[in-house]
Chains A and B, each alone.
Chain A
Amino acid sequence: MTKYALYPGCLMPTEQYGYEVSMRSTLPLLGVELVDLEGFSCCGEPLKSINQMLTLTLSARNLAICEKEGLDILIPCPMCHLALSETKKILREDPKMKERINSKLAGEGLVYKGTSKLFHVIDLLHDVIGLDAIKEKVVKPLSDLNFATHYGCHLFRPSELGRPVDSENPQKMENILEVLGAKADDYAEKLDCCGGPLLPVHPETSLTKTGQKLQSIQEQGFSGMALSCPWCHKMYDSKQKKAGETVGAKLNVPVLYLTQLIGLAFGVEEDKLALDLNLSPVEKVLEGDQGVGS
């Protein structure tokens, strides 16, 4: 087992339980031990519009908590992953800023050094664990299913920072779905934003973006959407009904976390994947899955 500190962020541990439950059920089957640490806070990225120094301080603070244990970090949220990655870069290139941030952290007895490596679920699965190891564990292939993937903007942009997947042609989720037995065709809107960051300011427009992408996925006949971001899941799954109303369409797209799909293919029991918490019609996929020669 390889140990990683789990940095949960805000959204996953306070409402997107399906992501956390399915991650905790599947990653250990692939040799990953998730270590829970006390004391984390928001990464600061959702507050960047208010104060960028706050983002820098909060991110460095969370990194420092993990460094104390000498662990590399698994960051399931693309937005947190961006904040922590950017903070590492800024503080590496600007020693004065590093000093200034450390003087803030001293009050809580923390020191930021910059020693931990950062992973998201996708690059951990694809690049560290590897497709062969995933394939070995598949007992119920997701045959006859074709998923539209949605990564979350912050997982592939800005590439200058070094992101876990390619910025113009991400394929890691596609490759993983393929070894699970499913298909994942490309589609024109693949790189488009879910609209989530606009929710606090312009809810209507935000949901229009969400609805438009779902509508297009539905029209193209995909079996569902596979994703790896708690914010996007909130928009596409939790708010799918509202998004449908906003764009005047009846939406029926099963939306699942990639880790839930991995669990299904590994034969993990459904309640250990928290599939009851997906509000979109995921039965369509579950039935399809059972119907397959497994």
Chain B
Amino acid sequence: MTDGLSNPEVPVPEELRGQVAITTLDKVYNWGRRSSVWPMMFGLACCAIEMICTAASRYDLARFGMEVMRPSPRQSDLMIVSGTVTKKMIPQIVRLYNQMPEPKYVLAMGACASGGGPFKEGYNVVSGVDRFVPVDVYVPGCPPTPQALLHGLMKLQQKIDGQSIRSVRWYRKEASESIPVPILGPDLIDPRDIPHIKAHAPAESPEEAQA
């Protein structure tokens, strides 16, 4: 275990090999985090079934230290957005994301979560969760096979490995901002769009908008 952690440039005396590791803080910290990413137990649609299969015995997510699925956002590090994001559901997803403590990651599983997928044209479908929350890893597929999801999770581990506590956003001085929760209006309203809507609303009667 210590072998992977040690910094090869610093020699360790023979008698202490295997017991002492000399390494950097970043490495230990990242190693700890990448080996126990707790996903949120949160299935949206068909992709969730493959997510469950990934966690089950054949594919066994536990090999990555990720089998502890938490139903509460407060205890989870990773949100696997496994399925179609609908307009009716996105306020809840944003709220859940805001409730997760940092460091937090988002994995968009499947075509729907990544970009709307087969249902993109639908009136109640958000074309990709990245319109509202920042996504770290996209896994293509409809649904992605468990192998693909595992690959995505390993990509996430790689991403974690590359991070440094000096630069990550959750150790900055200023508090991180939460994402404004979308409003269910006549259609979905992104609060960040309200100035735009205000500026254009009077001119935009439905007939004109379609013209």
The yes or no verdict on A and B being binding partners is: no
Binding site for B on A (CB under 8 A): none
